[in-house]
Amino acid sequence: MEHAALYLALIGLLSLMCQWAAWRVHLPAILPLLIVGLIAGPVTGWLDPDAILGELLFPLVSLSVAVILFEGSLTLNYEDLRGHGRTVIRLITWGVVITGLIGTVAAWWLLDMPLEIAAVLGGLLVVTGPTVVIPLLQTLRAKANLSQILRWEGILVDPVGALLAVLIYEFVALGQENGAASHTVLLFGQTVGLGFGLGALGGWLWGLILRHHWLPQRLHNFGTLMIMLTLFAGSNALFEESGLLTVTVMGIWMANMRGIPVRPIIEFKETLTVLLVSGLFILLAARITTEQLMTLNWPAWVFLGVLMFVARPITVWVCTIGTELHWREKALLAWLSPRGIVAAAVASLFAIKLEQAGVEGAEMLVPITFLVIIGTVVIQSLFSKPIVKALKVNEPEPTGFLIIGANPVARAIASELMTMGWTVRLTDTSWDAVQEARMAGLPVYYGNPLSEHATQHLELTGIGRLLPLSPYRELNNLAALHFEHMLGHGNVFRLAEESSKHAKRQQDRALGHLPRLFNDEATFAKLASLVAGGAEIRVAKMTDSFGLEEYRRIHDGRLMPLFCVAANGRLRVVHTDATLAPRAGERVISLIYPDSPEMQPGEREERAREEQRVTPGRSDSSNPGRLPS
């Protein structure tokens, strides 16, 4: 096709617009990508992927799916499996089997598919995936235990479901080519053996290289990508269809190998996956023909209904037997099961391969899979919020704090807030700071809070406000912009700048609509200096005869109000857009500066006695309890 470069550039631009639209409306990006692809392809006929890419289409799809599966398998850590309860383990083991069997029978009976293709479809549609589950959870505010179950099921079921789908596909593909059942089983065993053996060997050897730094740090990401793609292609060359299994096993092996710096690799793969997924799904959706769309008649919609209203409820009921979950909580788990990226990518690849092999019914894999994806995402996005409210399994308004940074300033403020009953979570890229926070008993996320990994793994249940307390100015500012869309205006703050007037003007242009945290002089350098110099966080209760000005007088103005707790337990953050005027009965949480060196010992003792007389002890002023709804 002429102007192929222009078409590819426009596909990239459409991908960017779809990702932005998904971010704005809190929907999984896969939904607008597929819709745009359908409009560009079968609806308008503007985009013909086969004409643009020709013989390169299949290798591009194949390598993209390998990257997607490898990136997903890197997140499957055995510690995560052991750490999230019986329900999650059952959902990603027995639940996968139950859903796959029901999906297979429904596809064979309702869609009149050959049993082999029905099994491939049933295996494909067991996965949910974090890219579709997490955006829904962020808008629902379901109970913390339910959000945790759904979130970790989505994260862990991706590689497990992909592995199951690949195994089923390989058995079917080998059977189509070789006929005899005994010969098919033998070839399947050889394929599985090669996939597991080569994947484990490749993961172990490459893990050793990364662990001992035999490769420069700057080449770790690039080298991992090249080794993975080489193993994928080499495995396929040695034994057809074994490559996907090889890279999946390699990723799982590396994720569970001690001393391997996997996190930077995951972040690199996330960026690459966004690029591949965005363009890939527009191309794949555009390949669907009008004839395939016309086959989506009432049996296809009934099949969708069976997955949503039969398979999922049965799966959840079986997997929650003997747990303490209430029937209302089980009902929400049974409702939420949107399908995502892995199902769409793997279905498209399998369909291309099986169609080339002339397998009957293979042409239905992609349209049925896309119908299930769009149907589950749209229906569950529209109705999940009222269902959560009707079932009364929603959390109160989130009032906890996400704190950017785990340095001494962040830890001091987080400790006080946590002591008084508020939810806090710190995040930092410094391992030493993270370790200090953990030893202090503070919940902390290790990594970049703006990364795709954080989107999947940073627990935000109960979090409603952001405090940027990192020493890195750009990180604070970007985090404020990133989380304002999620947490809402008035719940996100910016930290005062200690840099040049030019930098301050730049911050005002970008973040001028956000209030400054605490006051105009509360820069990170000042806060860090005060804490390092011995400043303490204390709580004082205001009365009719003792107000904020009296409190300032006692300390000679050497204090910085941070928060104000109302009599009903609600907490207000002190900021520059509102004047702090605490009323009688309210508590003020302040950073008390260290004493001036010029102060005499007698003056210090007198001030301590006066403060003790007019302010309550810590045991009286702390722990107002959790905030009311």
Query: For residues 141, 143, 146 and 149, what is the CA-based torsion angle, rounded to 10 degrees?
Result: 80
Q: Which amino acid is at 513?
A: H
Q: Is the pLDDT of residue 347 over 50?
A: yes
425, 459 Cβ separation under 8 angstroms: yes
- Each residue's pLDDT tens digit, 285-303: 888 887 777 778 889 999 9
Q: Which amino acid is at 131?
A: T
Q: Is the pLDDT of residue 619 over 50?
A: no
- Any idea where the domains of the chain sit in the sequence? 57-391, 400-498+514-606
Residue 403's pLDDT band, with cuts at 50, 70 and 90, is very high
Q: Is the pLDDT of residue 453 over 80?
A: no
Tell me the average pLDDT across 431-435.
90
Q: Is the pLDDT of residue 599 over 80?
A: no
Predicted confidence at residue 622, as pLDDT, reads 39
Which fold would CATH assign to domain 57-391? Answer: Na+/H+ antiporter like fold (1.20.1530)
Say how far apart CA 433 and CA 446 lie, in whole Å: 9
Task: Check residues 342 and 32 and name the one with the higher pLDDT.
Answer: 32
- Each residue's pLDDT tens digit, 25-43: 777 777 888 889 889 888 8
Task: Check residues 623 and 521 and name the one with the higher pLDDT.
Answer: 521
Neighbouring C-alpha atoms within 13 Å toward the C-beta of 578: 15
Q: Is the pLDDT of residue 176 over 70?
A: no
Closest listed residue to residue 204, CA positions, set 246, 149, 159, 146: 246
Say how far apart CA 347 and CA 292 lie, in whole Å: 15
Residue 625's pLDDT band, with cuts at 50, 70 and 90, is very low
DSSP string, 547-611: -HHHHHHHTTT-EEEEEEE-TTS-EEE-BTTS---PPTT-EEEEEEPPPPTT--HHHHHHHHHHH
- Each residue's pLDDT tens digit, 228-280: 889 988 888 887 667 877 888 888 888 888 777 666 666 666 667 677 778 87
Say how far apart CA 91 and CA 501 lie, in whole Å: 55
- Each residue's pLDDT tens digit, 42-89: 888 888 888 888 777 778 877 887 887 787 777 666 665 555 578 888
Cα first-last separation, the chain: 60
Say how far apart CA 590 and CA 348 lie, in whole Å: 58
Burial annotation 156-172 (CB, 10 A radius, 16+ → b, else e): bbbbbbbbbbbbbbbbb
**Cα dist. 199→230, 238, 240, 257, 427 in Å?**
11, 13, 15, 13, 33
Query: For residues 416, 419, 422 and 428, what is the CA-based torsion angle, rounded to 10 degrees?
Result: 60
DSSP string, 494-540: BPBP-S-HHHHHHHHHHHTTSPBBS-TT-BHHHHHHHHHTT-EEEEE
Closest listed residue to residue 439, CA positions, set 449, 426, 454: 426
Residues in CB range of 184: below 8 A, 6 or more apart = 171, 174, 175, 178
Pick left, alpha or beta for residue 142 (phi over 0 → left; psi -120 to 50 → alpha; otherwise beta). Answer: beta
Q: Is the pLDDT of residue 9 over 50?
A: yes
Question: Which run of H or E residues covers position 456?
Answer: helix 452-457
Percent of the chain with pLDDT over 70: 85
β-strand pairing of 559-565 with 571-573: antiparallel
Count CB-CB contacts under 10 A for residue 405: 30
Predicted confidence at residue 604, as pLDDT, reads 55
**Cα dist. 462→347, 402, 435, 525, 589 in Å?**
36, 10, 23, 29, 21
Closest listed residue to residue 569, CA positions, set 420, 378, 372, 469: 420
Helix runs in 212-242, H state only:
220-238
Predicted confidence at residue 606, as pLDDT, reads 57
DSSP string, 350-385: HHHHHHHTT-TTGGGHHHHHHHHHHHHHHHHHHHHH
Say how far apart CA 166 and CA 242 lie, in whole Å: 9
Residue with the two structure tokens 């527009």 = 282
- Each residue's pLDDT tens digit, 155-174: 777 767 777 777 787 777 76
Lookup: tokens for 578: 């509102």
Task: Check residues 624 and 102 and name the one with the higher pLDDT.
Answer: 102
Residue 552's pLDDT band, with cuts at 50, 70 and 90, is confident
411 burial type by CB count under 10 A (0-12 exposed, 13-18 middle, 19+ buried): buried
pTM listed for this prediction: 0.68
Query: For residues 325, 327, 333 and 335, what is the CA-based torsion angle, rounded to 10 degrees?
Result: 180
Predicted confidence at residue 361, as pLDDT, reads 79
Predicted confidence at residue 533, as pLDDT, reads 87
Q: What is the mean pLDDT of the chain?
A: 81
User: Would the CATH topology of 57-391 be identical to that of 400-498+514-606?
Assistant: no
DSSP state of 271: H
102 burial type by CB count under 10 A (0-12 exposed, 13-18 middle, 19+ buried): buried
Lookup: tokens for 432: 């030493």
Predicted confidence at residue 547, as pLDDT, reads 85
Tell me the average pLDDT across 391-397.
79
DSSP state of 111: S
Closest listed residue to residue 332, CA positions, set 161, 136, 463: 136
Q: Is the pLDDT of residue 307 over 80?
A: yes
- Each residue's pLDDT tens digit, 124-146: 888 886 677 877 777 777 877 78
The CATH superfamily assigned to 400-498+514-606 is: NAD(P)-binding Rossmann-like Domain (3.40.50.720)
User: Which of 7-11, 500-504, 606-610 is the least confident region?
Assistant: 606-610
**Alpha carbon 363 to chain centroid, angstroms:** 33
